[in-house]
Structure 1
Amino acid sequence: MKSATDLHIVEYLKHLEDKRKALDEFLNNPSRDTLKKVFESFWSFEAIVNKDMFLNRVLKKRVKPASIAQRLKYLIDESKPLEERLTVKIHGFGTRAKTEVLNTVHPDRYPILNKRTLYVLSKVFNVSKEYTIKEYVEFTKMCEVLAEGFSYIREDYERLISREIPKYAFLDFMLNSLYERIKTKAV
């Protein structure tokens, strides 16, 4: 699996679709194998080399895949307040993974809160590198402003590829690109 910055925007969007398919498959048929596909497709789990060992740890304490699926369904259920949904404990899914799930299902409503995004925002806008679940709503408001700022570039990309690009998917793509540029210059 490549990182977001290695991908052209079309490939990035294809990966977003693949993540959605893996998540939908797990939610509709919760099993060890379909959960592993989620772990393999989401960037939040990229650093975990041995997915089987991670799965064993997640499922060790009598946690069933169906229980994880039920909690993920609750997370993406927009009839509940966001703050309430984010506080639900989902084995194997920390804050960053939860925001990636939200972004995968609703890429026009929820930005991804990850270390790359926070690194760029801390360098460019001098904001904290640490955000808690409670601060995610504030983070989302800041990303709304950024997404609006990138809207002209996003529209150019949309014309170029003849396809609509969800605003927070594009923001994630741009912030990952900026991350690579900043890290390259820092070396």
Structure 2
Amino acid sequence: MDLFNNDEVNLFGQGKNLLPFDGEALIYPYFFKEDVFARLVEETPWKQDKMKIYGREVEFPRLTAWYGDSDEVYIYSGVVNVPVPFSSLLNAIKQSAEQQCGYRFNTALLNYYRDGNDSMGWHSDDESELGSNPVIASVSFGASRVFRFKHKIQKDAKVSVELHNGDLLIMRGATQHHWLHQVPKTAKKPGPRINITFRLIG
């Protein structure tokens, strides 16, 4: 599957940096030309994880799946994620993201936002397994959703962007040290969306 036209590599250049300082979040609108949302919904082994909040278990407000090479286990919010081997579709998406980033990835976290009630809370991808200044490639398929950043120290520093079907967002440099990000709930009743974040662990 040709998800990315190699002849267009130079047209994308370095992307637009969404962050005013303390990091890089490069946006490449409509980077992926082929709509693979329906295939991802059907082929992915989605699960409903739970986390503990103030001593009680609550379900994640989204469905998730974890893919990776060999035994790259990833833990976040107290959930141990054992990887599923990359499918041919995910591998094709990964290779296109790697080509643009100039960076190798060995894991992918998929989040399925079924409607406006599904969300992702404020967090940084700063787990020790990711190393210092990790490069993270975030790909969106399906309905558009708002993605927000806020600085950890300078509380008035906030950035908001709407991510569309096929958009690629690359977070790198000191971004995870200085910024939090989220996908907030919305009452606008958007359609379903899948986000894939590629990372290098180990």
* TM category, shorter: under 0.3
Bigger proportion of residues as helix: 1
Bigger proportion of residues as strand: 2
Which one has more relative contact order, counting CA pairs under 8 Å at least 6 apart?
2
